[in-house]
A and B are shown apart, each in its own frame.
Chain A
Amino acid sequence: MARIDLADIAHAYGPRPRSEADYALKRIDLTFKSGGAYALLGPSGCGKTTMLNLMSGLLVPTQGSVLFDGIDVTEQTSEQRNIAQVFQFPVVYDTMTVYENLAFPLRNRRVDGAVLDGRVRQIADMLGLTRSLGQKARRLTADAKQKISLGRGLVRSDVSAMLFDEPLTVIDPQLKWQLRSQLKTLHRQVGNTMIYVTHDQTEALTFADTVIVMYDGRVVQVGTPEELFERPNHTFVGYFIGSPGMNVLPAWVEGRTATVAGHPISLPRTYEKPSGTRIELGVRPEFVKIAADGKGLPVHISRVDDVGRFKIARVRLAGHALNVMVGEDVQLSGVAAAIEFDPSHLHIYADGELVEGRA
């Protein structure tokens, strides 16, 4: 295992990048601690796979360098870097049996005999492939094939890092949970550096200790799942993480008061008049309440969705749509209601970026 540093790295797929827009990955400085469990989270096309391939050596960055434990490996191949990587779509060697597939990365590295056999059987056991070890790989289902791909990534015990590029996309939900917790267990057992790319927030938040949220070729926030939830650095993070995402309302801010659609709202911190053309107030649906006594911001309820443990009220505040989380026991009658915000969980954003207030 190794610590991985991406030093001032950027990547463009075209040969001569001119403008910022030509870069799939814009200048990034990032450190992955040895033995950490990381998730790269973001929508499709945000550059997360590019970043992963730069680390594994499948791509050479247009600029900057990749360091493993402080040693520059930018020009090294994946094999020299000793990386394990699992891809989104299953890759199996059709003509080989499951056993041969799992043994392949070890055989290529001249691992033989009892060590190889032990490793293969251990991984097969972990993934529930023991019974199909003798079968031809091409006859298996997509699920099983992806397990083999996963197994080939896990079978080497001495790798610098294990990289997963949305490995569970093709696997059915039931098994997804199982495999994800097995990966988590494995991480605890072997303590390898693991980096997991996904666009699924649940996957990222349950797997990783540290989540790196990416958007449009940039890293917008690095933090623990709690930090991302409690204090999104960017309206995108607020919106992307959480279900439903954070409510963002245009606001006018001065001192300890924000004004939304003519209604004053008191803030937990003091703000200088923030610079920026677009000032917004962000609040998660979890921190908005329907006021019992009817005192608060007047809203119009357009719909209520019951999602099990709680309900989500879709309301409109002077034309702005908001989501409010409501307890299962709260009765909503009629179309008019009043809402209040939990003052300790309000954030102010200028042009999408979080503005730090004074306490």
Chain B
Amino acid sequence: MDKVVNNRAWFMVLPVLVLVAFNAVIPLMTVVNYSVQESFAGNVFFFEGSKWFEQVLHSERFHAALGRQFLFTGIILAIEIPLGVAIALAMPRRGPWVSVCLVLMALPLLIPWNVVGAIWNIFALPSYGLLGRTINALGISFNFTRDVFDAWFTLILMDVWHWTSLVVLLAYAGLMAIPDAYYQAAKIDGASRWAVFRYIQLPKMRRVLTIAVLLRLMDSFMIYTEPFVLTGGGPGNATTLLSIDLVKMAQGQFDLGPAAAMSLIYFLMVLAMSWVFYTVMTREEART
């Protein structure tokens, strides 16, 4: 068949271009625009070049928020991934309980994020929340609105409750994709339970676990609503993660320039981390 050359065909792509322009390119460019200008009341702008970027990168406030962010992400990954795999291993492979388990597991994922924050806020209140009162009744002083450790404890517990299910579902999907013949062969070979996990289940789950880690890494880096509703970043700045800090700066203080610069740094960081992580994991796979 001859190739028809008709440049008017480009018009067919136009709707998509317009759509992408409005929901991605233009907002992003607005942020880029803000990040290099100083703004004053009455829509007066001055060009500032890279000043805001330098300021943000050198500010202690940003370093502290970034540190808290890494700590948070590190802790929840260290808990959610092994816990998710363990729960997936404990779930039944077939039978009527499979769907019951799956629905129970999916429930936390169906709850809107701000509701999750609200639920845990009330749940952990030392005065009348079930969790807060129980802990205090045990003789341990607990108040997540005042104590830094308690705030972190509640925040991490909330995230684990909300997101471990995602890891469970992904890991379970990976487990279900293993043909029965592998388990049969392992039985014949006299493999122990640990050997089955180490040499069959874990290697076969690797791909989905890569995705799980990647999703949790990005999501936890971008987390905003839940900690905002739960602690509002407090006590003090103890739980002010990157996104909360960003909003404080942009909305609370109307520092559009630094906030825009920080957004871009933040965006590039998430992008770079995901890319590095993905490259490392897939290269590992290609090599072995």
Which residues of B are interface residues toward A (Cβ below 8 A)?
Answer: 179, 181-182, 184-185, 187-192, 195, 199-200, 203-204, 288
11 A-B pairs within 8 Å (CB atoms) are namely: A58-B188, A84-B188, A87-B181, A89-B179, A91-B184, A93-B200, A94-B199, A95-B199, A95-B288, A152-B185, A152-B189
Q: Name the residue on B nearest A153 (C-beta).
A: B188
A85 within 8 A of B: yes
Q: Name the residue on A nearest B187 (C-beta).
A: A78
Q: B203 near A83 (CB under 8 angstroms)?
A: no
Nearest chain B CB to A193 CB, angstrom units? 15
A87-B181, A89-B179, A91-B181 given; A108·B187 CB < 8 A: no
Most buried by A among B179, B192, B199: B199
C-alpha spacing A252/B191, complex, angstroms: 60
The B interface is mostly helix, strand or loop, or mixed, namely helix
Q: Name the residue on B nearest A109 (C-beta).
A: B190
Q: A108 near B188 (CB under 8 angstroms)?
A: no
CB < 8 Å neighbour of A108 from B179, B181, B182, B191: B191
A95-B203, A96-B199 given; A149·B185 CB < 8 A: yes
Chain B contacts for A84, CB-based, 8 A: 188
Q: B190 near A79 (CB under 8 angstroms)?
A: yes
A56 within 8 A of B: yes
Most buried by A among B188, B189, B195: B188
Nearest chain A CB to B58 CB, angstrom units? 46
A27 within 8 A of B: no
List the 7 shortest-distance A-B pairs measured between CB atoms, nearest first: A108-B190, A91-B185, A105-B189, A93-B199, A79-B190, A94-B203, A87-B181
C-alpha spacing A58/B199, complex, angstroms: 20
Q: B188 near A89 (CB under 8 angstroms)?
A: no
Q: B185 near A108 (CB under 8 angstroms)?
A: no
Interface flags for A72-100 (1: CB within 8 Å of B; 0: not) read 00000111000111011101011110000
Nearest chain B CB to A310 CB, angstrom units? 41
Most buried by A among B189, B191, B199, B204: B189
Chain A contacts for B191, CB-based, 8 A: 104, 108
Chain A contacts for B204, CB-based, 8 A: 94
Q: B184 near A58 (CB under 8 angstroms)?
A: yes
Chain B contacts for A58, CB-based, 8 A: 184, 187-188
Chain B contacts for A91, CB-based, 8 A: 181-182, 184-185
Q: Name the residue on A nearest B179 (C-beta).
A: A89
C-alpha spacing A96/B184, complex, angstroms: 18
C-alpha spacing A232/B179, complex, angstroms: 38
Chain B contacts for A56, CB-based, 8 A: 188
Q: A108 near B199 (CB under 8 angstroms)?
A: no
C-alpha spacing A248/B200, complex, angstroms: 50
Q: Name the residue on B nearest A95 (C-beta).
A: B203
Chain A contacts for B185, CB-based, 8 A: 85, 87, 91, 149, 152
A345 within 8 A of B: no
Q: B188 near A85 (CB under 8 angstroms)?
A: yes
Chain A contacts for B189, CB-based, 8 A: 104-105, 108, 152
Chain B contacts for A109, CB-based, 8 A: 190
Chain A contacts for B203, CB-based, 8 A: 93-95
Chain A contacts for B188, CB-based, 8 A: 56, 58, 78-79, 83-85, 105, 153
Chain A contacts for B190, CB-based, 8 A: 79, 105, 108-109
A269 within 8 A of B: no
Interface flags for A269-294 (1: CB within 8 Å of B; 0: not) read 00000000000000000000000000
Nearest chain A CB to B267 CB, angstrom units? 37
Chain B contacts for A93, CB-based, 8 A: 199-200, 203
Chain A contacts for B195, CB-based, 8 A: 108
Nearest chain B CB to A206 CB, angstrom units? 25
Chain A contacts for B199, CB-based, 8 A: 93-96, 104
A136 within 8 A of B: yes
Interface flags for A46-90 (1: CB within 8 Å of B; 0: not) read 000000010011100000000000000000011100011101110
Q: Name the residue on A nearest B191 (C-beta).
A: A108
A138 within 8 A of B: yes
Chain A contacts for B181, CB-based, 8 A: 87-89, 91
Q: A136 near B288 (CB under 8 angstroms)?
A: yes
Q: Name the residue on B nearest A80 (C-beta).
A: B190
Q: B288 near A87 (CB under 8 angstroms)?
A: no
C-alpha spacing A108/B203, complex, angstroms: 19
C-alpha spacing A87/B186, complex, angstroms: 11
Most buried by B among A83, A93, A95: A93
